[in-house]
Amino acid sequence: MLGTLAQHGTDTVGDGAAAAGAHVAHAAESIAAATPGAELMLAVPALTLLAAILCGLCAAFRVRSKLPAWLSVGCLGASFVCVLLTYLNLAGEHGAGGIVPRIAHGFEWLTFQWGRGGTGGEGRSFVADFSLYVDSLTCLWMLFVTGLATLIGLYASEYMVGDVKTAGYSRFFAAFNLFVLSMSCLVMADNLVLLYLGWEGVGLCSYLLIGYFYKKPSAVAAAKKAFIMNRIGDLGLSLGLMLTFVHFGTVQFNELWPLIQSYASGATPTPFIVQLIPVLFTVGAFGKSAQIPLYVWLPDAMEGPTPVSALIHAATMVTAGVYLVARFLPIYALSEWALPIVAWGGALTALLAATIGMAQFDIKRIMAYSTVSQLGYMFAGLGVLGSVGAASHVFTHAFFKALLFLACGAVMHGFAGQLDLRKLSGVQKMPGWRIVGLTMLVGCLNLAGFPLITAGFWSKDMILADAFSHPQFRAIGWILLITAGLTAYYTFRVYFRVFMGPKYFEPGDELHAAAHGDDHGEAHDAAGHVTHSAAPHGQHMAAEGALAAKGHAHDHGHADAHGVFHPHPPGWAINLVLTILALATFAAIPLFFIGDHHGWVGDLVHGSSSNPASAAAAHEAAMHGHGPHGGSFLGMDPHAVMYYVSAVVGIIGIGIAFVLHLAGRTTPATSRADALLPALGPIARAAQHKWYVDELYGVLFVTPLRVLSHIFHLIDKLLVDGLVNLFGWLPRGIGSFVRRSQSGVLHDYGLRMASGLAIILLIVLLGVLR
Amino acid sequence: MTGFASAMSALTGAATLTLGQSDFPHPMHQVTLAHYLVLSALLFGIGLIGFITRRNLIIMFLCTELMFQAAGLALIAFSRFHLNHTGETFVIFVLTIAAAEAAMALALVVLLFRRRETLDASAWSELRG
Amino acid sequence: MDLFNPLLLYAGCALGAVGVAVALPRRGINPQVVGGLIAAVAFGLIMLALARSLDHLPTVTFYIFGVIAVGGALRVISHPRPVYSALYFILTILASSGLYLLLSAEFMAFALVIVYAGAILITYLFVIMLATETPTADEVEALAEYDRYSREPIFATATGFVLIAVLGTALAGGRGAGSLTPATRYAAGRHLSELSVRVERSLREAKLIEPGEHIIVNDSLGRPAIDVEGGTILVGRSGAEAGQTEARIIPREQWPADVHLNNTEGVAFSLLSSHPGAIEIAGVILLMAMLGAVVLARKRVDLDEQARAEADRRQLVDPVVGGSS
């Protein structure tokens, strides 16, 4: 039913509010019928939990092999198959895209009843079961979460091989599986409490995995930073959750939608509380998805192993915020401020992160900033009611950003943790690195939005077009357009400098850091600095371009002297995963041309609670006719011209990168861009220092809190400890005074006893006489 | 002057003191219980003062015996006042305890004296705080 | 004419405190005689305070024994020589036993003299002799320092006499003001009926019953028909029973003087019939005290190091004097 209705819905925002209301009401009815068919989804949490437990057992039984990796990949693959089967099963019912929302009931989790009477009486109840809400949005998210988790698990099985001999390998995969479990809870929750459980669970796993190298101070600091920043956001989400229950009396999605819809007609004014809920949700989403002002944790989170960065901090967990906003788009539409906040927050984050990314030298960090920037894109898309574009971008971004991270990880893995783009050059030309280079190129093209042949181009276009189609969001459109150009520039800056140009490398410091238990191959661990003969793959034959550790060129074959470093090309698992992901980005392109609503993803989004049409209608009703209406890009229909505009912008960015960083470059450390630095002056330096945001936060929040903590410490020391000490000293003082009476001489005791007797008798006598 | 006459008769009553006589002592009704009790209190107080002031251990124990005496006198007086022999019986027990106490205390005093060659109670102040 | 005046009592106590404080041994001038006189005046004042009227002045014997007892006690605590203290304590004991006699407690009076003056005080004297440093040949008998000076005499006497004043005020009021009734009314008198043989012998000696006559035994209770409360003794021919006409009543007026439960008998009845368990306990206590004394006395004790060092030091400084200063 829903599917058909969704198919009938149009993309134009002028669709009637009443139709949207009927639409959702229908959805609720169909859920009430408890359509079966999604029970297979329950296998996902079960399988991942099983894998996590098995990995834990592996750690307990001191398994020192790749067993935990294969267990994890097996379970994750099986859960991906489950999701896929469920989707195919459900999607077949009503044609493309549309899936009737249904609930797979797991078990009764939290059920409270208080007050008198049963249903409908004065008694109230709070129900939050472990049940899965399966609709098309869920399917979309679960498909790429489980799929990417499987691939990245496979990648990690090789990447983490240096830790096989320690408990870290099992620990890594246990946390990895726990993450997928939490993520599936988050995405498939049928109520806000389960969603919150998953939300906290992914935060926990993020913390555990960022701090995987817990002996490294910077990793620990980054883990704490991520966790604390997320706490701020989580506070917003939990407050929103409570407000939801307080106002609507339920936290279950299928009961919430009709209640929310009752405001959508615009007949009754939306209460303040209902307007506040999405704002609070936004705080949570911005925390989890690293948006201004809570974005600073994500770049630091790159301290974790690269697979973690790829899966959690690029592809899946950070899109949880996007998911939250998309899922609750109906309630966002009711609020006057929530959508602008989301839109402007996203757009500004996109621009800011892009400018920072331009000035960084650490390639993983550049990717992190690009993630922040792209997440900003998604939020901007949601904010302008372009949920289809946002979801599409989430989908494509998940693949190409995972691809980019994994390629960077392969470089890092092979060059002993080297990530500085000034110390690497021409990697693609080195033997064994061709696949990495090519897949990196594919990823970069996607990120830069290279026209036509990349999926990233199509999804980015949708957001831009949506932004320009609303007159009040035109500024956002321009910001995003500029950002697109910057993105293309910094993406290809990385590619041109690391993978193209003259061959050169300096190994990273992990060469000498075997004791760190770091995430490079065991080859580097073996003797601390001599690596070649210990490499297991036998693939790291001395490259003709292999250079000495100090950067001196060695053009002969076997450099077997001590102190000579051989780069360590990736093995089959990494190459396989990179290839699959690269192909997947191409495979995603045709998906944009099937279905009725801007592709397959559009169909899925239309079939879910984040239907942009009904949301737009509701928003218009809530804004009393001042909602978004058709805008234009320089007088043209944005949906028609945006393809060309963004293609031009992307190519210009790539071109600038080519001119500045590849053409005529002879040394790895310098480029023509250096010549421009004096002209930019302090701006370049500020961008290099991430616009001093961390320092600003330090001054604004950390320092006052630290001062406050010192004050409290003083209070604790002087007042509280003083009180405690006083109670310790008081008896001692009294005692030292009273002790003098304990002379040890019998007479004194006798005298005191007699005086006491006399006094007591005196008191008794006076009492008797009176 | 009747008071004086009765005082004279009391003197004569004391003169005709005869043991075993049923009406002995005849003018006894002029002596009140309070006389004996206050006398007993005086003895007790003097014993207490002695206990506190004297430093010789033996004298101190003598003073405790003095206080026992005071208690005995009071008990006998009460016994006489209430015409009940239990008070006298109790004095027997007081004597018993006094004897036991004297035996133990004097043995201890001898021990202490052998240890320090002094009877000064102040010499034993190990319990000083 | 009510003479009782608490103020008089308090004045007496204050004066007594001064007297005792003066009499106690101390450094410098020590006018013990003056102190004794003041204490005597104070005693008189206190006794005067107790006399409610001149009618109630007690017998002279009370005064005599009271003065001796209190004076002896005062000497016990004020005499610097322990031996004399013990002897004065015997004086106090004797005076106390005199007071016991006045209170018609003859048995206790003599028991006191025997046990205290005879046994306990002799033990004290033994210990005093045992535990006093024997003066050396060329030395006049010297008093130990701890015997010559008393400790905190002012505070002690003040406290003591406050206590006396309080006790005196409390004890002199209320029923304490009541006169002592004749001693024949002792509650133990009813035990006389258990002494039928003695009573019958007294009656026979007084010719109150003829040969062949006996005190009638009350069949129902199996007791002789001696009614102390009612003051009647039933006598009759042998075989005669109570209530028979041959029975004859001997009223109290005709009883001879020794048909009367004397003090010793009364104490005996009280002790043995009312408190038999207490006697056993007292016996155990005495036995334990004896054992303890034996154990303690057999213990070999050496001078502790401090005292030995002190003794050595004294030997070095003044080998002639030795002992305590």
At A655-677, the pLDDT tens digits run 988 888 887 777 777 777 777 77
- Structural domain includes residue B58: yes
Q: Count CA within 13 A, CB hemisphere, residue A306.
A: 34
Residue A552's pLDDT band (boundaries 50, 70, 90)?
Answer: very low
- A630-644, B114-128, C147-161: range with lowest mean pLDDT: A630-644
- ipTM of this model? 0.82
Average pLDDT, integer, range A333-349: 89
Q: Among C24, C65, C27, C76, which Cα is nearest to C43's? A: C65
**Which of B16, B17, B26, B53 is the best residue to mutate to test the C interface, defined by the most C CB atoms within 10 Å of its own CB?**
B53
> Can the peptide bond before residue A299 be classed as cis, meaning omega within 30 degrees of 0?
no
- Asked if A370 and A307 touch (Cβ cutoff 8 Å), the reply is no
Average pLDDT of span A459-469: 87
pLDDT of residue C95: 94
Is B2 a domain residue? Answer: no
C298 token code pair: 């057999």
C219 burial via Cβ count (<10 Å: 0-12, 13-18, 19+): exposed
What pairs with residue A105 in β-bridges? A131
A553 token code pair: 């060129």
- Report residue C4's pLDDT band, with 50, 70 and 90 as the boundaries: low
- Considering only CA atoms, which of A398, A393, A205, A243 is closest in space to residue A328? A243
Question: Nearest 5°: phi and psi at C208?
Answer: -85, -20
Can you tell me the distance from the alpha carbon of A288 to that of A203, in angstroms, rounded to the nearest whole number? 8
Note whether C207 contacts A: Cβ–Cβ < 8 A.
no
Chain C positions touching B25 (Cβ under 8 A) are: 59, 102, 104
Separation between Cα atoms, residue A578 and residue A438, nearest integer Å: 9
Q: Measure CA of the first residue to CA of the last residue in chain A; give whole Å.
A: 98
C159–A758 CB contact, under 8 Å:
yes
Q: Which residues pair with A110 in a beta bridge?
A: A128
| Chain position carrying tokens 């010499």 | B123
Q: Which H or E element spans position C293?
A: helix C276-298
Question: pLDDT tens, A65-111?
Answer: 888 999 999 999 999 999 998 888 887 665 545 677 888 888 888 88
Q: How long a stretch of residues is chain A?
A: 770
Write phi, then psi, for A651 (nearest 5 degrees).
-65, -35
Give the range among A197-211, A627-641, C159-173 with minimum mean pLDDT. A627-641
Which of C151, C159, C169 has the CB atom closest to A754's CB atom? C159
Segment A518-538, tens digit of pLDDT: 333 333 333 333 333 333 333
Residues in B touching A744 (Cβ below 8 Å): 124-129
Contacts of A331 (CB under 8 A, 6+ apart): A260, A274, A277, A278, A281
SS3 A451: coil
Domain assignment present for residue B60? The answer is yes
| Nearest residue, CB atoms, A765 vs list C156, C159, C166 | C166
Out of A166-180, A342-356, A548-562, C145-159, pick the least confident. Answer: A548-562
A269 compared with A106, residue with greater pLDDT = A106
Residue B5 belongs to a domain:
no
Distance CA A443, CA C306 (A): 96
- CATH number, domain of B67, equals 1.10.287.3510
Range from A337-341, A663-667, C189-193 that averages highest in pLDDT? A337-341
Instruction: Give me the residue label for tokens 């101190």.
Output: B60
SS3 content of chain C, % helix, strand, coil (to 5): 65, 5, 30
Closest CA to C53 of B80, B82, B34, A768: B34
Return the structure tokens found at B41. 């209190």
Question: What is the arithmetic mean of pLDDT over B51-61?
Answer: 90
Per the DSSP assignment, residues forming a β-bridge with A636 are A633
Is position B61 within any domain?
A: yes
Nearest alpha carbon to residue A106 among A86, A130, A90: A130
* Report for A102-111, A351-360, C1-10: range of highest mean pLDDT: A351-360
Q: Which amino acid is at A503?
A: K
Please give the average per-residue pLDDT across A145-173, as a whole number.
Answer: 88
CA angle in degrees (0–180, nearest 5) for A11-A14-A18: 105
Q: Residue type for C96, please?
A: S
Is residue A290 a contact partner of residue A371, using CB atoms and an 8 Å limit?
yes
For B77, the domain range is 32-116
Q: Apex CA A411: angle with CA A408 and CA A415, to 5°?
A: 145
pLDDT in tens, A312-323: 888 888 999 999
Q: Which chains touch C (3 or more CB pairs under 8 A)?
A: A, B
Closest residue, chain A, to B49 (C-alpha): A751
**Residues of chain C above pLDDT 70, percent:** 79
Average pLDDT over residues A501-509: 82
pLDDT in tens, A397-447: 999 999 999 999 888 888 888 888 888 888 888 888 888 999 999 999 999
Is there a contact between C307 and B116 if contact means CB atoms under 8 Å apart? Answer: yes
Query: CB-based burial of residue C131 (10 Å sphere; 0-12 exposed, 13-18 middle, 19+ buried)?
Result: buried
B60/A745 Cβ within 8 A: no
CB spacing of A750 vs B126 below 8 angstroms: no
d(CA A319, CA A668): 35
In terms of CA atoms, which chain C residue is nearest residue B93? C282
CA distance A136 to A380: 22
Residue A175's pLDDT band, with cuts at 50, 70 and 90, is: very high
Using the structure block, give the residue that is written with the tokens 């991270």: A405
Res C317: pLDDT: 63
Q: Which amino acid is at A474?
A: R
Instruction: Please say whether the dihedral angle defined by the alpha carbons of residues A640, A646, A652 and A654, taken in this order, is positive or negative.
Output: negative
Burial tier of B4 (Cβ tally within 10 Å: 0-12, 13-18, 19+): exposed
Write out the two tokens for C94.
Answer: 């004797």
What is the number of structural domains in chain B?
1
Average pLDDT of C259-268? Answer: 84
Does the CB of C170 have a partner CB in chain A at under 8 Å? yes
Nearest residue on chain C to B22, alpha-carbon basis: C184
**What pTM value is reported for the model?**
0.62
Nearest neighbour of C82 by CB, restricted to B13, B30, B58: B58
Residues A300/A229, Cβ–Cβ less than 8 Å:
no
Give pLDDT, residue A525.
36
- List of chains touching A (3+ CB pairs within 8 A): B, C
* C-beta of residue A565 within 8 angstroms of C-beta of residue A507: yes
Pick the residue with more confidence: B26 or A565? A565
Both tokens of A419, joined, read 């990530």
Q: Nearest CA of chain B to the CA of C315: how many Å?
A: 14
CB within 8 Å of chain A, chain B residues 93-122:
121-122
Q: How far is C285 from chain A (nearest CA, A)?
A: 25
For the ranges A580-594, C180-194, C255-269, the lowest mean pLDDT is seen at C180-194
Chain A residues within an 8 Å CB radius of C160: 754
- C-alpha distance from A727 to closest chain C C-alpha (Å): 35
Taking the C-alpha atoms of residue A735 and residue C224, their distance in angstroms, rounded to an integer, is: 71
The DSSP call for residue A315 is I
Q: What is the pLDDT of residue B55?
A: 87
- Using a CB–CB cutoff of 8 Å, tell me whether A762 touches chain C: yes
Q: Which of A744, A751, A754 sits opposite B128 (nearest CB)?
A: A744
Q: Which of A506-515, A607-616, B83-92, C301-310 bottoms out in mean pLDDT, i.e. has the lowest?
A: A506-515
Contacts of C112 in chain B (CB under 8 A): 72, 91, 95
User: Over 50: is that where the pLDDT of A466 sits?
Assistant: yes
Rg of chain C, C-alpha, whole Å: 29
Residue-averaged pLDDT of chain A: 81
Q: Say what percent of chain C tops pLDDT 90.
A: 16
> What's the pLDDT band for C245 if we cut at 50, 70, 90?
low
Render pLDDT for A107-140 as a digit per residue (tens, 0 to 9).
888 888 887 655 555 667 888 889 898 888 888 8
Lowest mean pLDDT among A600-614, B99-113, C176-190, C267-281: C176-190
Does A739 touch chain B if contact means CB atoms closer than 8 Å? yes
Question: Residue B1 falls within a domain, yes or no?
Answer: no
- Grade residue C181 by pLDDT with cuts at 50, 70 and 90: low
Residue C293, token pair as written in the block: 């004394």
**pLDDT category, C146, cuts 50, 70, 90?**
confident
Instruction: Give the integer Cα–Cα distance in Å for A767 and B94.
Output: 31
Binary contact (C152, A761; C-beta < 8 A): no
pLDDT for the residue numbered B28: 44
At residue A526, the pLDDT reads: 35
* pLDDT confidence of residue A27: 46
Do C108 and B45 make contact, defined as CB atoms within 8 angstroms?
Answer: no
CB proximity list for A221: less than 8 A, separation 6 or greater: A300
pLDDT of residue A559: 39
B14, part of any domain: no
Spell A240-259 as b/e; 16+ CB within 10 A means b. bbebbbeebebbbbbbbbbb
| Whether A265 contacts A17, CB under 8 Å | yes
Whether residue C176 and residue B76 make contact (CB cut-off 8 A), yes or no, is no
Torsion of the alpha carbons at C50, C56, C60 and C62, rounded to the nearest 10: -50
- Measured in Å, how far apart are chain C's first and last C-alpha atoms? 58
**Is B64 a domain residue?**
yes
Q: Within its chain, how far is the Cα of B123 from the centroid? A: 29
Q: How far is CA A729 from CA A719, A734, A737, in A?
A: 14, 8, 12
Is 50 exceeded by the pLDDT of residue A353? yes
CB C12 within 8 A of CB C49: yes
* Cα angle B40, B46, B51; round to 5: 125
